[in-house]
Amino acid sequence: MRWEVRISYKKGVQDPEGESTLKGLRSLGFNLVKEVQTSKVFSIQGEYTRNDVERMCKQLLVNPVSQDFSILEVTE
C-alpha cells in the first residue's frame, strides 16, 4: 500500500519560496499568476492504515502551528 502526504503552509503563514517563485514568474512575463504556494509531498509505502499515517504526520512530519496536511491513498 502506498500513501501520499501533502504538507503545505496554513493560510496567513508566510511562504518565502512561493513568494519568490511568484516574483520570478512575473518577471518572466507570466503576469496572470495570482499566487504560488509550495508543498512538500511524502510517499510512504508499507502496510499502514490511514490512522497510522495520520499519527506519522502529527508526531513527526507536520508542524501543526504553521502547516496543514492531506493524506491520499494511492492505488495503482
* N-terminal to C-terminal alpha carbon distance within the chain: 9
For residue 34, give its domain range.
Answer: 2-74
The CATH number of the domain holding residue 42 is 3.30.1280.10
The secondary structure of 11-64 as a DSSP string is: TTS--HHHHHHHHHHHHTT-TT------EEEEEEESS--HHHHHHHIIIII--T
| 70 phi, psi to nearest 5 deg | -135, 150
Q: What is the pLDDT of residue 28?
A: 98
Residue type, 43: S
> CB neighbours (10 Å) of residue 68?
15
Q: What is the pTM of this model?
A: 0.85
**Domains held by the chain: number:** 1
Q: What is the pLDDT along the chain (76 residues), one digit of tens a residue?
A: 999 999 999 999 999 999 999 999 999 999 999 999 999 999 999 999 999 999 999 999 999 999 999 999 998 7
